[in-house]
Amino acid sequence: MSGGNLLIRGGYVLTMDSAGDLQGADVHVRDGAIVAVGEHLDAPGAEVIDAAGKIVAPGLVDTHWHMWNTLLRGLSDGSDRSGYFVNCVALGRHFLPADTYAGTRLACAEAVDAGITTVHDWAHNIRGIDWAEAGLRALSESGLRARFSYGYETGHPNDRLMALDDLTRVASAWSSYSAGGRIQLGMAWRGTGGSNPAMRVAPALYREEIETARGLGLPVSVHACGPRHAAGQLATYAAERLLGPDLQVIHLNNAWTNEISLAAARGTPASVSPFTELQIGYGQPVTGALLAAGVPTGLSVDTTMLSGNADMFAIMKVTQGCANALAHDEFALTARDVLRLATIEGARTLGLDSVTGSLTPGKRADVIVVSPHAPNIGVLTDPARLLVTAAHPGNVEVVIADGRVLKRSGALTGYDVAEVTSTARNALAGVLERT
């Protein structure tokens, strides 16, 4: 899978590490790893990918994405009977494992196409181990780097524990699921009751859940402080001494200032999903406040039921726009800052910063080449600014994950797109028929 010998030659290389930007530099990839970055590298026998006049950057990092429900793209609008949460539960109940596979695979294909090489699949429609295995199979086949966060099923009753036995079983057999270490396991935790205060989970239950995950050595991820009335969830986690680097918290839009300070003090990472937070009415993303407090922060797709697509370039752009708008300051968040969130900082929030997120010798080879030779770019000025404000997935010419070329000359190498999309349409038809 990742035994290639590749030389990405002559690009404008954004290393996103202390080496900075290197114009006209090469990136040498061998056996899935970056072995050298610099000018005029000698790489005998390597397949050459010409990147002259193009931007070479680390693969983009998503930090929270309900990939299964990509099958339901577009189905969350109009009224409170057809909104995101209602449809997610109503349709999610009728998913079979093959539907989870079809939805997750469509999301994976979209990720590759968009230059995202790391995803955090927040699997919250696991209706049994078969559904987990279906999602894992799609991730494994994709070639992407991933965290698979094992969750519950949509509509899971508040008075019942998550399926901790299944999680434990999958964790104990993890080497057979991990695609050689490319996929890590985590827990998608429902927390103290999610975003609706009328749906609290008894402390004895949620404590057992998080203690089980931690007993298995798994990182945990939880939605926190969604709607305005739910502010205070982070304070609850702090009071329960649950905050720490292994607990990712999502949607801190309405967290109190002291809650953000608590997260920073405990090294608790955050995930910001600007498009879905705006779309569902959580209010402004608080990226600037998180960074000012020192909270490790990454960006996320969340769900294409709300965001529509997984365009991480657009996610970066709206992140910068929202931060500057909120600060009334054109320079509150720079393009370079936000590109860091979508690469090395996102990787840090997943505990993967020693593996990916920058073009550093010794790291795994997750690399993208973006061509400016399209009407929406056309000039090669500040490459960070171009990636954040001008580029779109169509400009991504080459995608390499773990040393394997997943997109070449603008075409996906591992997917028959017509087959992926027709399978998705057929699966959705079945879900709708059963609902």
In the bound state with Zn ion, the residue whose beta carbon lies nearer, of 302 and 397, is 302
Q: Residue type for 169, please?
A: R
Q: Which helix (H) or strand (E) holds 434?
A: helix 417-434
Distance CA 72, CA 328 (A): 36
Residue nearest to Zn ion (CB): 302
The interaxial angle of helices 203-215 and 164-172, nearest 10 deg, is: 0
| Shortest reach from residue 162's CB to Zn ion, in Å | 16
The closest of 219, 254, 214 to 234, measured between CA atoms, is 254
Comparing CB distances to Zn ion, the nearer of 6 and 188 is 188
- The continuous run of DSSP H or E covering 426 comes out as helix 417-434
How many residues in total does the chain contain?
435
Q: Which residue stretches of 28-176 are H helix?
A: 84-92, 97-113, 129-142, 164-172
Q: Burial letters for 228-247: b for 16+ Cβ neighbours within 10 Å, e otherwise?
A: eebbbbbbbbbeeebbeebb
Residue 223 CB, nearest approach to Zn ion (Å): 6
Tell me whether residue 111 or residue 406 sits nearer to Zn ion (CB atom): 111
CA angle 226, 194, 146 (to 5 degrees): 85
Shortest distance in whole angstroms from residue 309 CB to Zn ion: 16
- Three-state DSSP string of 258-306: HHHHHHHHCCCCEEECHHHHHHCCCCCCCHHHHHHHCCCEEECCECHHH
Reference 341, options 272, 247, 245, 390; nearest CA is 272
| For Zn ion, the closer CB: 259 or 302 | 302
Q: What is the dihedral of CA 171, 401, 342, 28, to 10 degrees?
A: 130
How near is the Cβ of 37 to Zn ion at its closest, in Å? 35
Residues contacting residue 109 through CB under 8 Å, at least 6 positions apart: 142, 412, 415, 417, 420
CB nearer to Zn ion: pick between 222 and 347: 222
> Residue 65 CB, nearest distance to Zn ion (Å)?
8
Q: Is 177 helix (H, G, I), strand (E, B) or coil?
A: coil
CB 328, min distance to Zn ion, A: 29
Taking the complex as a whole, the smallest distance from the CB of residue 17 to Zn ion amounts, in Å, to 30
Q: How far is the CB of 89 from Zn ion (least distance, A)?
A: 14
Question: CB 374: neighbour CB atoms within 10 A?
Answer: 14
Query: Considering beta carbons, is residue 99 or 302 the nearer one to Zn ion?
Result: 302
Q: Which of 332, 236, 227, 234 is nearest to 276 (CA)?
A: 227
- For Zn ion, the binding residues (CB under 5 A) are 302
Choice between 62 and 302, CB closer to Zn ion: 302
Nearer to Zn ion among residue 302 and residue 366 (C-beta): 302
Minimum gap (Å) between residue 192 Cβ and Zn ion: 16
Q: Residue 65 or residue 206: which is nearer to Zn ion going by CB?
A: 65
